[in-house]
Amino acid sequence: MKLKVGVDVDGVLGDQVPPVLEKLNRKYGLDLSKEDIIDWAFPIKDTTIDVEIEDALCTERFVLEMPVIQGAKEGMAYLYKKHHILITTSRPPQTERATVKWLSSNFSFHEYCNTRGKGKGSLSVDILIDDHLQNIEEFSRNGGVGLLFSQPWNKERSEIQDLISKGMVYSCDDWKAVTKTVDLLIANEAIKSKFP
């Protein structure tokens, strides 16, 4: 069964937090690590991590040199062979050229879509792989199956516990868990009815 799989960029394919933290640690004399970022709007002195990331994304060099999440290349190659891959992001539009260049140099995919201002709740895909709780919640409440890519900022999941218990959201700690979960979903007779 060939599915349409939506894959987020930041926090799923690209590891955007460590390079930004490195800069902030130098600037403010701190020693923060990615594990410390337990909220997407985590405050750091007179700023927040999300504001700093948004700012960094507007620098082409930052985008082109972004580290790839461990296992993402192998996981994406595996999914690309079996499914239709839609890369989806909410990055600022001015980053698009550099983003597509970075994606193309690291991954194979079929489509690219920027959902900034629209959200990911109504994406026309069967499965969404994302690290942002709100994206996963909106998508799954609209009937899709969400794979929440575990990051320190999405450990608190009380608001989606009902979706997890209904089998609409699955937690994936790494890319091996992502590919395994997609395969299990296809094999699971009970969930096949969710996919056309």
In this prediction, residue 113 has a pLDDT band, given cuts at 50, 70 and 90, of very high
Question: Is the confidence at residue 90, as pLDDT, over 80?
Answer: yes
Chain CA centroid to CA 36, Å:
19
pLDDT digits (tens, 9 = 90+) for 134-183: 999 999 999 999 999 999 999 999 999 999 999 999 999 999 999 999 99
Examine the pLDDT at 127 and tell me if it is beyond 70: yes
The packing angle between helices 49-57 and 17-28, to 10°, is: 110
Per DSSP, 168 falls in state S
| pLDDT for residue 193 | 65
Look at the block and give the residue holding tokens 């994936």.
172
Domains of the chain: 4-14+68-192 (3.40.50.1000), 17-64 (no CATH)
Q: How many CA atoms lie within 13 A of 129 on its CB side?
A: 30
- pLDDT above 80 for 88: yes
* Mean predicted lDDT score pLDDT of the chain: 95
Contact 39, 95 (CB under 8 A): no
Q: Give the pLDDT confidence score for residue 1 in this predicted structure.
A: 81
- Reduced to 3 states (helix: H, G, I; strand: E, B; else coil), residue 81 is helix
Q: Where are the beta strands (DSSP E) in the chain?
A: 4-8, 43-44, 47-48, 84-89, 111-114, 127-130, 145-149, 169-172
Range of lowest pLDDT (54-58, 122-126, 158-162, 188-192): 188-192
Q: 59, 63, 26, 28: which is closest to 43 by C-alpha?
A: 28
- 35 pLDDT above the threshold of 70: yes
pLDDT at 188: 81
Other CB atoms within a 10 A radius of the CB of residue 89 amount to: 25
Tokens standing for residue 176: 């091996």
- Type of residue found at 23: K
